Structure 1
């Protein structure tokens, strides 16, 4: 346990000796010993002892001290009104924060002011707008396991989005967690916390909440019979545990809560209920196009590649023309989970097409949606009783837009069922809107306990109290003039301060004229302040009326807030409709502005088809002044494309372009192309780019092999596989052997739609033996010794890799370039002597070595015969013992995994070295 969490050790042994306030602090730290307790003392949240020392260092604050009858304690405080930024820093440092607020006003009861933890703030349970990204969900996850099934639950505490799924494959669950990128996760017994992404905080939590009976009871209390909502015990356990954790984070637990010494949070009886959690959605990952963490990164859905470095240089960035936070989150969800069913895809496409074709309607909707506040988080705060009057006015302002949204949809709603449904679901909530309009002033203050919130005429009792206060103030306003006339003191004035109340002030030279009924209240340097019995009476009336009015206003505000909270499901339904409309308008805006076309999506039972004419990379075309479109055509008899050509010619961009266009089509978006026709893909795999896992002890090559193993095990004929330069992390011979084995396996055994970009030129010869394989290359020429990239893709293999020319273009020093040319020329000459027709001068030596390695590992007719000679020639001119050559020929590379192939090659290499 971190010394900054838990009860301070210096207090633990003498709890009974502590002052009442420090005793409170000790008890709250003991109860929430997994967190730093922020303890409200007036206008500050204070920490003491070890927690104070730690927060002072982390937050760069001054460490002070507090002294009382029991000792002196280090102390650090942060202002209550500006706590969010400090809390964010504590979360970034890996801490949870328990906020202990004063739950009564000083003087309300004898003794120390009562404090209670009102919320526990963790990375996954944030609800503060200042700490949340407006256009993205902030999920907390729970993982449970029963036998061979993993259950996954995901909850956004700020919006109420609650999802559940399960799988017998731990890899599939890991992919789902990566897809949603939760900020935090709790794990049940027997679950490997490593399933969560590296950036996700894994929080130990009371294992009893994962018990089937307890989890089921809690779920039933919220949603009814869990067995009718969820599929199996694993999902019930995960969802129930996550609910318990969300309630714990809400705060307000009873005194029987405690925590184990290992830091695992134990829960007690909850006194709060999350009323805004009204829906639990169970989904099957197989209903959506699957994208694992590698694919999410490679396809730049949400995170930009370093080469661009800008947030907008992502697929989400180029599609995001949403006007509201609601629409942004909806669009992100669509990108995370592209659809599979053509009917659902076409429903979205119909709506996008209708809006794309009506410029005026689209622009008017965009303008109106800019005035929409974040309804999901607003109703969440309202239900948690944390909303202020301005939040309610924001809700009112949003509801005022809804009738106009309905009016603008009138002209297009008949064009597709989706827009018709949206029109029907745009509930204006007129009763809620009228309640806010009638009950609250137009521009209320932030504070809800100090008056000025409730509108005139809403409550007779409040109006009477206000009138009493106004009458008293009018009397006081007239008092100054009447007393001047009565006393003859022209400088007499009537004033007020919060300490002494109302007073009559007379300067020293006029004190002899003060009437007898004036009672001295305060003496100043140059004047005296007095009261009269009548003034005191009026003051009591005014102050009493104002205090009672403030109390009444707060009561009325809470009543209004509770009445709105009762409409939570209606508000959430409206929020969903507005979010969907905003996302559709965004897609149609992008389609119109950037010349996207409607894709044709055919039935999943139809033969495999992926045809793209004039396709463009949606991200890259926004970052460059010009972009060369390229097409693609895949079918059952044309499913594996081998792409060659030099670096910088566009191979990687082309592959990502194909995948992103297919993905966008399944999102229900128009796509950057002249035309697209496809059967829905069920999964996209990518092995693009070099990376390592130093912390995990894996080299770049091992990471590559692990990713390839996953692809070869899980891909099928409904998958799209992108491979870029596989096998370059080891020797040329090993790399070529692995690349060829993978190519053959994908073609013969997996059957996936595949694009394989490679510098292993001998792979292009595989098209002679693999009937569904074909070659592509990027057109490249040399002019005056310089390589020129045309970025046009064409059938056939490239005539070389132009490596030296690319090095020249990259700015490699001229002496190095010239020496490289000499070496290439020498290698080419040697190769030409040994074997005619080596090909391009720059690549002859490399291709010769690759071909020789290919011969050695596959037993082609060009290799020397083992039956005629005692030894077999190797790629570098050495000799291979006959037994090793025989083992090489016997290897069934098409049925070995990449790692197995590498292991065999390593074993044979060691035999040669013995």
Structure 2
């Protein structure tokens, strides 16, 4: 076990001898042995022993020590006021955190202050605003296998289920598949921060960055999982499609309850030490699995959505990364250079999360795409309405997380006012779409429930600017409760009597310097300086002696003090009770608030898409539905992808100028072999085609003059070089793995992007692989394919493949320098201009000149290779090792093996240094 976790060995050996406080710490560490325990001592959270040493290194804080009668223990602490930032660092370092707060007031106990774990914080179950990204979900996942006693070695294709829960918002999703790759793709799509994995389920599905948490296998039991679900949903069997889905959903609920359950609120009336430690950290009790314990039920979790991944455009982890939907690859030099970064004009956190969900799950059904496009078009054209809606939506708070806090009884009075302020703008938001023409906006108008009764309750009950603390009064509005008003009047009258007391006593005693004051220790008092003590009346009773004065109290003042303090305390208690009642009343409307939140999020997402369309001059794409026979309407066969003046949505935002390009694919033109030099724009072009398709299926306008397409079911990418050294995979092996996935899973309705396939091995092998892949994609798969390559012989394949064609990026040489036009045109490129690109990159001139000489010397050989019947032939290998000898410049013969190697060299694809190395090696072969 990590020395930072579990009970410290130095304490365990003498548990019975420890001081009461250190014994508390030891026992909490033993109970929460999967987490670092932050132990409140005064205004700090302290850690001890191994946990202190580890925390000091991670958090870069001072390591000190605590010494008592039982020994000296390393100690490191963080201020409670700034604890969240430190907790975030611990989570990022891969630790869970158990926060142990004082649950008693130090002045109210004669012994050691009781402490209990009030929160267990893990990456996937965060609810703290300070630790959450406001514009994205934070999911915890559960993976379960269909058969509880299945043997993983023999059930590789058995059903797997995935459940995804955002504890902060209540979003709850479930799906299943017989393919582990499909489940891995869904995990990558939603990027959960944490996952619990059931017995016999694979543990290697989660990507880097997702913490895999061990959890009690009993949570995945079919019967217990079903009972857990039944506490939330009336008929879970009708909601879900299989036992595996029930296991996954029940387990993720049990885990969420464990993490959030047994916590003290730190508020009067909601805390107590008896249940704080009722749940074991790694082995939940049977009771915790069979039914939620008090305080753990997630009341705001009201919806479970079961979906089929095939209902959406599929994007695996490779495609998400290559297309830079959410994470930049640094290619464009900006951290915000992502597709979502361009599109996100949302005004609220609700809208930001909705937009990201749309990008993760683009649509397949043309009717749903058209409905969203109708709304975007209407908002794009209605400029004033769109801008007014954007301004109004800025006032919308994060209702999903807000109602979650309210339901968990963690919300304060300011949270309730935030809800009121949101509801206050809903009527005008609703009015803005009252006359909408399209069906989607009209339905949103009906869904925008202003919750007038909730708003009225909040307006009546909560003051406009309440304090953060909810136990010290000042949060309930005047006139809301008669008893509270009477207590407040009593306290006010008493305070007014106190205020008048000073003037009366000065007049009565003749002491002009007499003062009436108050402090928290002695209460109200009358202060008289030592020089005036002889004038003090007989009914003054000495309360406190100071250096230069005495403080007194009178029987009447004591009575008034008791009256004031009693009234104030009763008022504070009553205010807290009334606040809790209001909060519970709001929590009872959770489903209405969530429905409103979803409608506002959808509207914000649509306004964002319309704003981007208007701001960046996007056009509405034409979505072509397939007819009943599977053919696309319009007479172009099964596929249409036509783009006029297409632009890369991210690159055009980061570059001063951008050259638009066209694309046209049909059944008869389904595979494009794209050539051209490096830096000409091949990769950008391919990505922009894919991003335009993706945006169209999101229901967004697209960066083009016009676009017309049939929806694709999946986008595959093999773009860019990367390795997996930790996993034992070279760059070439990673490339081959990705290609295997594409060739095994793509079909005629897929869009495939291939960039420079065949690197990382010999030129002959690379060329052979590239040719075989091209033929297979054309003949067997039939996918719409864009294949960028420097293997120029591939362009000759298009003569033999009826659905293949060539494209290239034009360049020209001006005064020996390459000028890129970034314009794609039909046909094959005349060369790769590798030496010229090396020159532009600043390679030393002597190396460049030597490279030119080598290229010139090799051109006859390379031309011969291109003319050989074996290259470009569908029935032969790319190169033939039995080529005849060639004549040397001095009349001799080049040996057969050397000639073959020369012909196989792709000089345009070699760096100058690699070219020199190859030349030296071949020269040595000739000399032998």
Tell me the matched-pair count.
859
Residues 409-430 of structure 1 show CA distances to partners (whole Å, capped at 9, x for unaligned) of 123x2x1110011011111111
Say which of 463, 473, 495 aligns to 2:495: 473
> Are 1:204 and 1:265, in contact at CA under 8 Å, matched by a contact in 2?
no
SS of residue in 2 equivalent to 1:195: coil
In structure 2, C-alpha distance between the alignment counterparts of 1:24 and 1:100, rounded to whole Å: 10
In structure 2, C-alpha distance between the alignment counterparts of 1:426 and 1:142, rounded to whole Å: 33
> Are 2:794 and 2:872, in contact at CA under 8 Å, matched by a contact in 1?
no
Consecutive unaligned residues in structure 2, runs of 5 or more: 148-157, 264-274, 633-637, 887-892, 901-928
Q: Say which is worse superposed, 321-330 or 783-792, in terms of deviation.
A: 783-792
Aligned counterpart, 1:602: 624
SS of residue in 1 equivalent to 2:785: strand
Q: Superposition pairs for residues 507-546 of structure 1, below 5 Å?
A: 507-546=529-568
Indicate whether 1:61 and 2:83 are aligned: no
Indicate whether 1:637 and 2:668 are aligned: yes
Indicate whether 1:131 and 2:141 are aligned: no
- CA RMSD, 1 decimal: 2.4
> Are 2:870 and 2:878, in contact at CA under 8 Å, matched by a contact in 1?
no
State the Cα distance separating 1:655 from its structure 2 match: 0.4
State the Cα distance separating 1:516 from its structure 2 match: 1.3
Aligned counterpart, 1:560: 582
Aligned counterpart, 2:889: none
Say which of 392, 416, 433 aligns to 2:416: 392
Change (3 A) 1:741 1:102: same
Change (3 A) 1:496 1:820: same
Aligned counterpart, 1:44: 44
TM-score (norm 1): 0.91
In structure 2, C-alpha distance between the alignment counterparts of 1:92 and 1:874, rounded to whole Å: 63
Change (3 A) 1:642 1:858: closer
Aligned counterpart, 2:211: 201
SS of residue in 2 equivalent to 1:193: coil
Aligned counterpart, 1:572: 594
Residues 202-239 of structure 1 show CA distances to partners (whole Å, capped at 9, x for unaligned) of 11111110111111100011112221011111111111
Q: Say which is worse superposed, 365-374 or 815-824, in terms of deviation.
A: 815-824
Q: Superposition pairs for residues 796-807 of structure 1, below 5 Å?
A: 796-807=827-838
Aligned counterpart, 1:662: 693
Say which of 768, 771, 789 aligns to 2:820: 789
> Are 2:33 and 2:281, in contact at CA under 8 Å, matched by a contact in 1?
yes
SS of residue in 2 equivalent to 1:393: helix
Say which of 699, 705, 716 aligns to 2:730: 699
Aligned counterpart, 2:712: 681
SS of residue in 2 equivalent to 1:789: strand
State the Cα distance separating 1:24 from its structure 2 match: 3.1
Say which of 383, 386, 394 aligns to 1:370: 394
Indicate whether 1:226 and 2:273 are aligned: no
Aligned counterpart, 1:586: 608
Aligned counterpart, 2:774: 743
Change (3 A) 1:66 1:464: farther
> Are 1:681 and 1:719, in contact at CA under 8 Å, matched by a contact in 2?
yes
SS of residue in 2 equivalent to 1:427: coil
State the Cα distance separating 1:59 from its structure 2 match: 2.1
Aligned counterpart, 1:757: 788
Say which of 314, 328, 344 aligns to 1:304: 328
Residues 852-908 of structure 1 show CA distances to partners (whole Å, capped at 9, x for unaligned) of 5954996669999x9xxxx55499965479xx9xxxxxxxxxxxxxxxxxxxxxxxx
In structure 1, C-alpha distance between the alignment counterparts of 2:790 and 2:317, rounded to whole Å: 26
> Are 1:257 and 1:267, in contact at CA under 8 Å, matched by a contact in 2?
no
Residues 446-469 of structure 1 show CA distances to partners (whole Å, capped at 9, x for unaligned) of 111111111111111211111111
Aligned counterpart, 1:428: 450
Q: Superposition pairs for residues 140-539 of structure 1, below 5 Å?
A: 140-147=140-147, 148-252=158-262, 257-258=279-280, 269=288, 270-271=293-294, 272-411=296-435, 413=436, 415-539=437-561
Change (3 A) 1:877 1:545: farther
Q: Superposition pairs for residues 861-876 of structure 1, below 5 Å?
A: 872-873=883-884
> Are 1:215 and 1:240, in contact at CA under 8 Å, matched by a contact in 2?
yes
Change (3 A) 1:773 1:155: same
Residues 249-304 of structure 1 show CA distances to partners (whole Å, capped at 9, x for unaligned) of 103085564356xxx77775333211011111100000000000000011110111
> Are 1:733 and 1:854, in contact at CA under 8 Å, matched by a contact in 2?
no
> Are 2:797 and 2:872, in contact at CA under 8 Å, matched by a contact in 1?
no
Change (3 A) 1:127 1:853: farther
In structure 1, C-alpha distance between the alignment counterparts of 2:458 and 2:771, rounded to whole Å: 69
SS of residue in 2 equivalent to 1:694: coil
In structure 2, C-alpha distance between the alignment counterparts of 1:328 and 1:118, rounded to whole Å: 31
Residues 471-526 of structure 1 show CA distances to partners (whole Å, capped at 9, x for unaligned) of 11111111111111111111001111111111111111111111111111111111
State the Cα distance separating 1:805 from its structure 2 match: 1.2
Residues 76-132 of structure 1 show CA distances to partners (whole Å, capped at 9, x for unaligned) of 332333211111111112110112233444466775444332221011111111111
In structure 1, C-alpha distance between the alignment counterparts of 2:617 and 2:587, rounded to whole Å: 44
> Are 2:764 and 2:879, in contact at CA under 8 Å, matched by a contact in 1?
no
TM-score (norm 2): 0.89
In structure 1, C-alpha distance between the alignment counterparts of 2:24 and 2:77, rounded to whole Å: 17
In structure 2, C-alpha distance between the alignment counterparts of 1:672 and 1:292, rounded to whole Å: 24
In structure 2, C-alpha distance between the alignment counterparts of 1:663 and 1:84, rounded to whole Å: 38
State the Cα distance separating 1:766 from its structure 2 match: 0.5
In structure 1, C-alpha distance between the alignment counterparts of 2:215 and 2:854, rounded to whole Å: 63
Indicate whether 1:766 and 2:797 are aligned: yes
Q: Say which is worse superposed, 447-456 or 24-33, in terms of deviation.
A: 24-33
Change (3 A) 1:318 1:691: same
> Are 1:256 and 1:268, in contact at CA under 8 Å, matched by a contact in 2?
no
Consecutive unaligned residues in structure 1, runs of 5 or more: 832-844, 885-914
